[in-house]
Structures are given as structure tokens and as C-alpha cells.
């Protein structure tokens, strides 16, 4: 008997078998349609019969319904942050078939959804999540992949002029001078945290997660930086000054955490935001520029090793946890005293040329 709807309490159910040319092609149905009205339940039966007949004639793969972007999102295991970013995107293009979504249409969502932000925000909040969702569906064999280029320098400049801003503030990388002044006014655990990040290149989240029993081997002057971004834990030899700092820290539990052994933390903070107040207070007391954790630590490590001390890039990258030394050099090193250095170098070249040619560059005015 074909599918028919019937009522059970407040809900309508379906029973029967799907037939094709008078012959059953499905198992016997006895299930809820989820509908509260007879009309909706009847439509459910029609839709189910249509789908089963398509699959019977074409096979499951050929009968698969065209994938929409909203459907692709359901296939993607997004973390809470990405899921939040996807909500307004689904409102805009959720019903679009993935095969019809063009890269330009995705880029156009940036200024539409975030008109007051810059192109970097558009990339992080729109292009990256859309690309991840569609390419995940491609990995599952549901659609073709998509390539979406970023915004051009011209688009970035135009948007910055339009909103009267060049984006987030750029901070100088940390230095030994900054760190020594900071430590004079920081709490012991904040001072040890800053030193840990500066001499290892650890991110704030990695340092905060360190457990005294699992990540410290102080008798051998070694600490373990927890893995992050797909990379494993790494054990590092550290200077005796840091060993002394860490050895003098009391056993600490993050505020509000249950006092059990697995909840111990080397620095006693529960989240990456835990040290913020102490950190800012130390900067004010020392009368130095406020540097965020990443600038003072990981950027400071990259600048100190590569630019100031000219450590071999391979060695610095391996120690600091970079698999791509080109990325390390491009993002985590910065020009310092560029004008003075360039003019000094040009002066050296001029003197050598004057000596070689016995000619002088005119210096008189008028």
C-alpha cells in the first residue's frame, strides 16, 4: 500500500511502502512525519515517495539533491567562532547552489556584511569560512572545490580611506630592553610568563596551558611548549634565569577552578585573558609602551633571533615552532631604524666609491 498519513496524538505519522508501477520498492514505513497538520504530513509523503523513486531509477549518487551552501555548512564541523561567522553568510547565500557560487560574489559579501571594517576582516570573516565550507564538501565528494583570491592592495587602500582607518594598531616587537623594564614592575608570575614567551616564541594560549607536572623539567633546564595549530609539543632547553623564575612560582590553580591535580597551571591563569590587567598595570608602572602578549613574546622572539642576533633561520624556526621559515621572516620580523641603517649603508658605499674613483660627490649648496 502506498504511503498514507495518519494521526497519532498531536502528530501525523506515515505508513505503507513506496511503490513503482504497482510494485513496492522500499521497506515498510511506520514513522513520524514531524507534521502537526494533515496537509503537511501529506506533502511529506509525496516528497518521500518522489525521492525514493528517483533513487530507485537513478541510484543514490545520481539522485542526490543539488548541494546548497546551507547544506554544505551542515557537513562542516565548525568551531563556535567559525559557526558564529557563518550565520550571516548563510542568511545571504544559504539557498544558493554551491556550484553556482562565484568567487566574486563571495568577495562582495565582505563590504556588504562588514561595511565599517577593513579587507583583512572581510578575508577572515567571509572568504576564509566560505572557502573552508565548500572545500570540505569537495573533500567529501559533494561538489567542486573553490578558489577565492583575496582583496587587492587597491581595494584595501580604498576601504581604508573610506572608513578613515588603516585597521588595528601595529605594535613594535618585544625586546630585551622592554622586557627588563616590564619585569621590574610585574608580578612574579607575569614576569615569568613574559620571559617564557620571549625566549621560546610560545603563544599566550600555549603558555597559559602549561602544567607543572607535564611541561616542566627544571632540574634539566627544560620546559615543554604545548602543541598548537596542528603541531606537537616541543621540549626546549631554556636559560637558567627562566628556570629560576619558574622554580620560585607557587603551585597555582586558576581562579574558580576545582582544586584537583589536573587543573594545576604553571602560571595560574585559566584563560588567555587572565593576565591582561596585571600586564597592563606593569606597563603603566614601568612607563613603557603597552605591548600585547603576541607582540612582546612571539614577535619579539622572531625579531631578536633573526634580525638582531642573526640566528640561522632554520634553527630559529625549529626552536620557535615555525614549520615555514618564510612565514616567520615575513610576518614575525620587522624593520628597525630603517632610515638610519639605509643612510649609513649608502654613506659607506659612497666613501668606497670616492676612494676608488678619486672623485668627490658635491656637498655645497647653491
Tell me the pLDDT of the chain (366 aa) as tens digits: 689 999 998 899 999 999 888 888 899 999 998 888 999 999 999 988 888 887 787 676 555 678 899 989 988 998 888 999 999 999 999 989 999 999 999 999 999 999 999 999 999 999 999 999 999 999 988 889 999 999 998 998 899 888 887 666 788 899 999 999 999 999 999 999 999 999 999 999 999 999 999 999 999 999 999 988 767 899 999 999 999 999 999 989 999 999 999 999 999 999 999 999 999 999 999 999 999 999 999 999 999 998 888 988 888 888 988 877 787 777 777 776 777 777 887 788 878 887 888 888 776 555
pLDDT of residue 297: 94
* Residues 185, 158 within the same domain: no
DSSP assignment of 11-56 equals: EEEEEE--EETTEE-SPPEEEEEEESSHHHHHHHHHHHHHHHHHHH
**Cα 312 from Cα 319, distance rounded (Å):** 11
pLDDT of residue 167: 67
**Cα 226 from Cα 207, distance rounded (Å):** 8
The CA-based angle 350-356-358, given to 5 degrees, is 90
pLDDT of residue 63: 54
pLDDT of residue 207: 95
* Host domain of residue 143: 69-163
Structural domain includes residue 349: no
Q: What is the DSSP letter of 256?
A: T
* Residues 141, 260 within the same domain: no
Among residues 131, 73, 86, 78, which one has the least CA distance to residue 107? Answer: 131
* Residues 181, 324 within the same domain: yes
Residue finishing a domain among 121, 139, 163:
163
CATH number of the domain bearing residue 321: 1.10.443.10
Number of domains into which the chain is organized: 3
Structural domain includes residue 168: no
pLDDT of residue 218: 95
Among residues 175, 216, 220, 183, which one has the least CA distance to residue 199? Answer: 175
* Residues 245, 150 within the same domain: no
Judge contact between 149 and 310, C-beta under 8 A. Answer: no
* Residues 108, 234 within the same domain: no
Residue finishing a domain among 58, 84, 99:
58
The pTM assigned to this predicted structure is 0.62
* Residues 246, 115 within the same domain: no
**Cα 205 from Cα 208, distance rounded (Å):** 5
Structural domain includes residue 338: no
Structural domain includes residue 32: yes
Structural domain includes residue 346: no
* Residues 118, 189 within the same domain: no
Structural domain includes residue 348: no
* Residues 185, 322 within the same domain: yes
Structural domain includes residue 289: yes
* Residues 33, 95 within the same domain: no
* Residues 45, 76 within the same domain: no
Judge contact between 234 and 225, C-beta under 8 A. Answer: yes
Structural domain includes residue 193: yes
The alpha carbon of residue 253 and the mean position of all alpha carbons in its chain are separated, in whole angstroms, by 28
* Residues 184, 151 within the same domain: no
* Residues 108, 48 within the same domain: no
Amino acid at each position: 500500500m502506498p504511503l498514507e498519513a495518519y494521526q497519532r496524538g498531536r502528530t501525523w505519522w506515515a505508513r505503507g511502502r513506496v511503490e513503482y508501477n504497482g510494485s513496492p520498492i522500499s521497506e515498510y514505513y511506520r514513522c513520524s512525519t514531524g507534521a502537526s497538520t494533515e496537509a503537511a504530513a501529506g506533502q511529506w509523503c509525496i516528497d518521500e515517495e518522489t525521492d525514493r523513486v528517483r533513487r530507485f531509477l537513478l541510484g543514490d549518487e545520481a539522485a542526490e539533491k543539488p548541494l546548497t551552501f546551507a547544506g554544505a555548512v551542515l557537513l562542516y564541523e565548525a568551531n563556535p567562532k567559525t559557526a558564529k561567522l557563518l550565520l550571516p553568510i548563510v542568511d545571504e547565500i544559504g539557498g544558493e547552489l554551491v556550484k553556482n557560487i562565484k568567487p566574486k560574489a563571495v568577495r562582495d559579501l565582505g563590504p556588504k556584511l562588514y561595511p565599517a571594517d577593513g579587507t583583512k576582516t572581510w578575508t577572515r570573516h567571509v572568504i576564509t569560512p566560505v572557502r573552508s565550507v565548500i572545500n570540505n564538501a569537495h573533500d567529501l565528494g559533494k561538489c567542486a572545490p573553490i578558489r577565492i583570491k583575496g582583496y587587492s592592495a587597491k581595494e584595501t587602500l580604498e576601504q581604508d580611506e573610506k572608513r578613515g582607518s588603516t585597521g588595528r594598531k601595529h605594535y613594535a616587537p618585544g625586546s630585551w630592553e622592554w622586557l627588563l623594564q616590564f619585569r621590574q614592575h610585574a608580578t612574579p608570575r607575569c614576569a615569568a610568563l613574559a620571559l617564557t614567551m620571549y625566549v621560546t616564541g610560545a603563544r599566550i594560549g600555549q603558555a597559559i596551558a602549561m602544567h607543572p607536572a607535564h611541561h616542566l623539567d627544571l632540574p634539566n633546564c627544560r620546559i615543554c611548549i604545548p602543541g598548537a595549530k596542528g603541531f606537537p609539543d616541543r621540549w626546549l632547553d631554556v636559560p637558567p634565569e627562566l628556570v629560576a623564575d619558574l622554580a620560585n612560582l607557587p603551585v597555582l590553580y586558576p581562579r574558580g577552578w576545582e582544586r584537583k591535580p589536573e587543573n594545576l597551571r604553571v602560571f595560574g591563569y585559566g584563560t588567555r585573558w587572565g593576565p591582561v590587567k596585571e600586564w597592563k598595570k606593569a606597563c603603566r608602572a614601568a612607563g613603557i609602551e603597552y605591548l600585547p602578549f603576541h607582540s612582546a613574546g612571539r614577535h619579539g622572539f622572531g625579531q631578536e633571533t633573526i634580525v638582531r642576533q642573526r640566528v640561522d633561520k632554520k634553527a630559529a624556526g625549529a626552536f620557535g615552532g615555525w614549520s615555514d621559515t618564510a612565514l616567520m621572516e615575513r610576518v614575525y620580523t620587522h624593520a628597525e631604524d630603517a632610515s638610519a641603517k639605509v643612510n649609513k649603508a649608502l654613506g659607506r658605499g659612497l666613501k668606497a666609491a670616492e676612494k676608488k674613483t678619486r672623485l668627490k660627490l658635491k656637498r655645497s649648496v647653491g
